Amino acid sequence: MLTQFLSGDPNAAAHVLQLAVALIIGITVHEFSHAWIADRAGDPTPRAMGRVTFNPLAHLDLFGTLALLFVGFGWGKPVPVNRVYFRRPRRDDICVSLAGIIANLITATAFALPVRFGFAGDYADTFRVIVHLNLILAFFNLIPIFPLDGSHVLSNLLPVQQARKLGEFYSRYGFILLLLLVTLGRPVLTILVSLPVGLLSALLLGLPGGLGL
């Protein structure tokens, strides 16, 4: 993608720009929602770190942004959270973890409506990319592998002893499992991400068969 962009391919350039806009919107609403819910739950850390804001610069990660140009997908800076401040740590941690996912689903729906009802105009293609990327962020983050949000949800739903053992396992092998999933786990990603993204995008946008990955 980056090679095509640098060669002056107008289609590649347009697609990179659309992905950049979608990435900025998707990551900003995702990370802001984590920070805002953590702040509401009593943790002063996100606000002290300047993360309770819609300013994209507070949430974008340099390498995640560069990855967008090279592989077409990126990530943001995780919001620092200290569970010690939560009034109900396990419940609040689940709420914080799900907040980003729910925010991406709401954002996808908001940008799909103008496309679905025909008043997106010249922005329809960009809106479709925003919808698609936000759905990918939502379903990908639901996967229960550390450091994805789904791992926090799973850990807090387990009995304390089992959650502790799972945390120890994640601390040793979480990033390795995630790397293996991203590089070698295409069939798993198809089931957990591609299929629900395709089905929901079809529902939201009115596209037969959805968009797929």
> pTM of the prediction?
0.88
Pick from 26, 25, 1: which is nearest to 13 by CA?
1
CA atoms of 159 and 165, how far apart (whole Å): 10
Name the residues annotated as catalytic: 31
User: Is 59 a residue whose pLDDT tops 70?
Assistant: yes
Question: φ and ψ at 8, to 5 degrees?
Answer: 95, 10
Stated length of the chain: 213
User: Is 58 a residue whose pLDDT tops 90?
Assistant: yes
Say what the pLDDT of residue 205 is.
Answer: 92
